[in-house]
Amino acid sequence: MRQKLRRLILKVKYELSFTQLIFWYNQLASMNDIILAAREELEASVDTKTKESFQRFFKEKVTYWGVKTNTVEKIAKKYFAQIKGLGKEKVFALCEELLKSNFGEEAWIAANWAYFVRDDYKISDILIFERWIDKYINDWAKCDTLCNHAVGAFVEKFPKTIDRLKTWAKSENLWLRRAAAVTLIIPARRGKFLKDIFEIADILLKDSEDLVQKGYGWMLKVASQTHQKEVFEWVMKNKGEMPRTALRYAIEKMPPDLRRKAMAKS
């Protein structure tokens, strides 16, 4: 009797395991089908003029299908409707598959899908975002699309993780350094995190990379729209060491008289 019961238990366990295996296999196949379908639609939507014009926006060599932004947006929303019920972990897995392709439009879709699941973020996701930026981001458009929205929403949800951005600002990877600044663009627009913005700007102050200078200059420019006095004072204090590119970006929205003072040589 005991042996029969043991065999029955083993049989049930085996059948359950096999059923679970089939379930996960079908889910994986379905997820791959989504990626392939989105990719095929991107390829079918290539616009010759758009493709030819992409490279002129970048100093580095970039890889883009050549699809208009509004079309990419429609494709992103169309296929997200099919995956939103899978949960954040599986959505993030799909995002990573898109990022691996190196195509800018696929990175754009990944960034948007990551943002669409923002209500389900948990604090450890900062490590996933960091890995994506370090491993897959290789131009300013990919960096800004991911960081302005998904990573920006994340730090608003978990403000303590801004300290991680300060670590990024010291990275050897220029995209992590730019990400440290552009992640705070939308929070800065709302008047948030001014102290942290200045701390990140302090770290990036003399950065030699043009795209990092533009990134933290942009962050300061947006912050100046709600904290003009404080940002102007920071600029005047640091303009002797601040690269002119970052300086021009930071003061762009200030009144003409303040801009003249900031640009005047000491």
Instruction: State whether 52 and 146 are in the same domain.
Output: no
Nearest alpha-carbon partner for 141 in 168, 114, 178, 116: 178
Instruction: State whether 28 and 102 are in the same domain.
Output: yes
Helix or strand run (H / E) with residue 115: helix 104-116
**pLDDT digits over 17-58, tens only?**
544 544 444 444 467 789 999 999 999 999 988 888 888 889
**pLDDT digits over 85-113, tens only?**
999 999 999 999 999 999 999 999 999 99
Q: What is the pLDDT along the chain (266 residues), one digit of tens a residue?
A: 556 545 544 444 454 454 454 444 444 446 778 999 999 999 999 998 888 888 888 988 899 999 999 999 999 999 999 999 999 999 999 999 999 999 999 999 999 999 999 999 999 999 999 999 999 999 999 999 999 999 999 999 999 999 999 999 999 999 999 999 999 999 999 999 999 999 999 999 999 999 999 999 999 999 999 999 999 999 999 999 999 999 999 999 999 999 999 999 86
Instruction: State whether 182 and 93 are in the same domain.
Output: no
Helix or strand run (H / E) with residue 244: helix 244-251
Paired tokens of 208: 């030699």
Domain of 46, in residue numbers: 1-120
Nearest alpha-carbon partner for 217 in 195, 184, 240: 184
> Which residue carries 């899978």 as its tokens?
86
Instruction: State whether 113 and 20 are in the same domain.
Output: yes
Measured over the CA atoms of residue 231, residue 233, residue 236 and residue 242, the dihedral's sign is negative
Instruction: State whether 173 and 228 are in the same domain.
Output: yes
Q: Can you give the CATH number for the domain in which 240 is found?
A: 1.25.10.90
